[in-house]
Structure 1
Amino acid sequence: MRRKSRAVLRKSGLAPSGPVYGRLVDAGRSLPIPAAARVAVSTAVLRRPWKVPVRFDKLLVGAQGGWTAREFADRTGDMLWPSTPFLDGPHVGLLRLADEHADLTDEQILGSAYGRLGLRCIEAGGTYFGGADEAGVLAAARAFVARYRGEEAPGAAPRPQQSGPQDPVLVAPVRGSDRFQILDGHHRLAIAAMSGADGASVVAKWLPVTTPLQDLLLKMSWLDGTHELYQPIDAPELETGWTTVRQCTDRLAKMDAFLAERGVSGGRYLDVASCYGWFVSQLAGRGFEAEGIERDPLAVPLGKAVYGLPDGVISTGDAVEFLGGHDEGRWDVVSCFSLLHHFVLGRGSVSAEELIRLLDRATGRVLFFDTGQDNEKWFAESLRGWDPARVERFLRENTGFDEIVDLGPDEDARPPYEDNYRRHLFACVRKA
């Protein structure tokens, strides 16, 4: 019963590891109660009663303009704001700029990440330390630089939204990682970092937060609330506590070498079951007109955020319908990874033979393909007989390619899945 209850909570997103959890924590911080009362409750109940040392390279930027990090990300459409390392953020960036230029111009400030941050707060419907226009942002920036340089006027009154001299730097742990999100104190921490310190003693909340990126990943249909990545994502809060199940770089290296050997350097590329869009991004970077088809609509905002994919390159829907709705040989290069065995197991809308024929029909020159095999512990019985030789025979019997080349196994058989994967990548070639 306990396990079942946990599963229900995870699927609903209400579990501490689920995507709704972080929003509930944020909602608690945003309750419409007087500020003094909220601070009193926070100090007495929600904050740890001691300071903790935190290295600056473990901090992520957070709350801005009176909004939580998640609220700011939602208002500005910047999902990765709460995933930004503090040392790469706008506050440290402005002080670095000030070190390079003794007399910062208005244009330099407004063109900096710090200036853009202030303007984004205003455009999102708020203010930036009381400023509601460019002049207000410039005033906040120049006061910050003056404070860093020791030029701030003694006894200067704090600006609106500015913490008092007795307020502690406040952070919250980021769930499932070794990072902390800054709740209050970006400017003080930036001055300390640029003054040579590598960390600070801060007050930490008891309750952890999650980032919008973590929340979106946990909603993806095939993850079922697990902390796993099926394609590489470079984000600090995912470095620990999240397992990259499919390395992808191993298959891409084989693809690169094979395409170079065969003189294929461009054209149209399609990734079927494109997941987050990593292969689409990589092939686009190699000069291909790349696109993908993925069943989960959440892949679209994720790919745009983490890989910078433009609108329209990832289509969402059923792969069978998508492939059947396009002209023969439309794509020069096609890839389809870890999809066919679902059809072999009867989970698809057509037979495995029909799926591979659709892939054959869509491919102009090269199809890169892999599927589940019987060497994998979880498929030892259900895919019995599906070894690399059987997969190659299946490809020869059900497609019209001129050449089938076994490029070898993947490198994904590592803990916690050391008894699985080692799926062979095949290149199916149609001669010009």
Structure 2
Amino acid sequence: MKSLPRRALNAARFRGRRAAARGRVTAVALADRATGAARRSVPAPVRLRLSRTFLRPSQSSMVAIDQLLLGAQGGLSPKEFSQATGDLLWPSTPLAAGPHVQLLAADGALTDEQILASPYGQLGLRCLKTSGSYFWADAPAGVVEVARDFLARKESSSYEPRANQSGPADPILVERIRGSEYFGVLDGHHRIALAYAAGETTVPVTVKRTTASTPLQDLLLRMSWLDGTKELYQPLPAPELERGWTLVRQCTDRLEKMQAFLSARGISPGSYLDVASCYGWFVAQMSAAGFLAEGVERDPLAQPLGSAVYGLPASVVHIRQCEDFLAAAGRRWDVVSCFSLLHHFALGRGTIGPAELVRLLDEVTGKVLFLDTGQDHEAWFGTSLAGWDTPRIAGFLAEHGTFDEIINLGPDSDGVGPYAGNYGRHLFACIRH
């Protein structure tokens, strides 16, 4: 009995999306059909219970345009469109920064070629290709025609920013993004963009009662070290992560210490390797600083995430256990970093011991190794890492490496908020002259 309503609703939605891709019905009509079909397929007792959840009518509301994300396109849901186009961040992009608004902001008259080359033109071609709404040979002309009509509506001020207050059959339809203050747009992108171009800051919308997550949120929750928790281990610039997701490690504090040290020592950009590179934030930052930067990370989801969020080529993040990668490297990088990894080996969680990990890191380091690790002053390691303090770690690095200097650059800034009493890990620079 529990699976019947979901199956019926999904089937109705699938049929509705196919019809929408062919331009036969409006978004609101789709919603009504899906709801009605599901209601008719559900037995009466179950129907009564469901009426208090996803079969309830949607809610009308005024929403700030800055809270609206691009959402659905081309008759596909946000997740379907993201998957079909390989664009992980499309559903996470503010509509005000999207291609609809960009087209309206263009200066002067646009040629057909300029329209097709614009983000809006490229979006139109992607939509037609994924939905099959046009014969492909007619697609460019169709995109240009729609774009020119869109631009003409701006010039004639026919944006109707408050259209659904006067009772039309096709309101702007949005859905709440789970764990955030944002909404994904399901229908009405052009009307919102026209309202924004006209100086409006809010628009009337119809908000679905159900909520949805974005593909970025889903990917993060699948990453192996999170175990379903809403924690970020490196900065990720996405609006739906601003509230409800905790940034565990600032990262900027370590980067500033690293760059200041390299500058003071006169070490110019060369090759760089981040061991246990997580999402790839340090790889991206060091690449921007002029380094030929790479990372190694065990979770294969790090590649699509780093590519989408930081623009990293998949080839610069090696998916492998770090100890296996280091043992087989057969080369050195000028600068190597290894953050918050060594203590896992000290706790017996690796395939080798902590001394062997230090030896492997030593072998691949050409000039400087930057390293921090969990320490015994942290509440969660007070017993398990007893004696693993700053002087002990410095001595351990000197004993098992061949570095000429071990310099303590000071603690991180992560021991705040829910992590008070933890972190404050000291960053060491291990130097080879």
Q: Into which bin does the TM-score normalised by the smaller protein fall?
A: 0.7 to 0.9
Give the counterpart of 1:59 among 68, 79, 83: 68
Question: Which of 102, 111, 114 is equivalent to 1:105?
Answer: 111
Give unmatched runs, 5+ long, in structure 1.
1-22, 153-163
Q: How does 1:251-290 map to 2 (within 5 A)?
A: 251-290=254-293
Give the equivalent residue in structure 1 for 2:424. 422
Matched position secondary structure for 1:365? strand
- Asked if 2 retains the 8 angstrom alpha-carbon contact of 1:47 and 1:203, the reply is no
Aligned to 2:364: 362
Partner of 1:136: 142
The answer for the alignment partner of 1:315 in structure 2 is: 318
What does residue 146 of structure 1 align with?
A: 152
Aligned to 2:176: 173
Cα distance in 1 for residues equivalent to 2:117 and 2:101 = 15
Pairing 1:202–2:205 present: yes
Q: Which residue among 77, 80, 86 is the counterpart of 1:71?
A: 80
TM (norm. structure 1) is 0.86
Q: Is the 8 A contact 2:74 2:131 kept in 1?
A: no
Report if the CA contact (8 A) 1:369-1:427 is conserved. yes
Cα distance change on mapping 1:355 and 1:212 into 2, 3 Å: same
Q: Which residue, out of 160, 179, 195, partners 1:192? A: 195
Assess, with a 3 A threshold, how the Cα gap between structure 1 residues 187 and 269 changes in structure 2: closer, same or farther.
same
Q: Give the superposition deviation at 1:30.
A: 3.4
TM-score in terms of structure 2 length: 0.86
Mark the CA change 1:116 to 1:312 in structure 2 (over 3 Å): closer, same or farther. Answer: same
Deviations 1:296-331 (Å, cap 9, x if unpaired)? 111011111100001310111111111111225x11
Over 3 Å counting, the alpha-carbon distance change for 1:388 and 1:180 in structure 2 is: same
- Matched AA of 1:126: G
Check the 8 A contact 1:46/1:205 in 2, yes or no. no
Change beyond 3 A, Cα 1:151–1:372:
closer
Confirm or deny: 8 A CA contact 2:374 2:423 kept in the other structure. Answer: yes
Amino acid at match of 1:61: L
1:183 paired residue number: 186
Match of 1:126 among 132, 154, 157: 132
The answer as to 2:216 corresponding to 1:213 is: yes
2:397 to 383, 395, 420: 395
Alpha-carbon offset, residue 373 of structure 1: 0.4
% of aligned pairs identical?
A: 57
The 1:132/1:415 distance shift into structure 2, 3 A limit, reads farther
Higher helix share: 2
Give the whole-Å Cα distance in 1 for the aligned partners of 2:385 and 2:8: 44
**Aligned partners of 1:81 and 1:127: how far apart in 2?**
21
Aligned partners of 1:366 and 1:427 also within 8 Å: yes
**Structure 2 residue aligned with 1:32:** 15
Distance 1:406 1:151, change over 3 A: closer
Q: Distance in 1 between matches of 2:11 and 2:259?
A: 50
Distance 2:176 2:134 in 1: 25
Indicate the residue corresponding to 2:414 in structure 1: 412
Is 1:335 aligned to 2:325, yes or no? no
- CA distance in 2 between partners of 1:49 and 1:253 (Å): 48
User: Residue 206 of structure 1: CA displacement?
Assistant: 1.1
**What is the aligned length?**
394
SS of the residue corresponding to residue 404 of structure 1 reads strand
Task: Give the counterpart letter for 1:296 in structure 2.
Answer: D
TM-aligned CA deviation for residue 401 of structure 1: 0.3
Q: In structure 1, how many angstroms separate the alpha carbons of the residues matched to 2:344 and 2:430?
A: 20
Instruction: Give the one of 226, 230, 244 matched to 1:227.
Output: 230
Q: CA RMSD in A?
A: 2.4
Residue 41 of structure 1 deviates from its aligned partner by: 4.6
Corresponding residue to 1:242 among 242, 245, 248: 245
Q: Secondary structure at the match of 1:166?
A: coil
Please tell me whether the aligned partners of residues 59 and 180 of structure 1 are also in contact (alpha carbons under 8 angstroms). Answer: yes
Q: Is the 8 A contact 2:12 2:33 kept in 1?
A: no
* Counterpart among 353, 364, 373 of residue 375 in structure 2: 373
Paired residues of 1:174 and 1:211 also in contact (CA < 8 A): yes
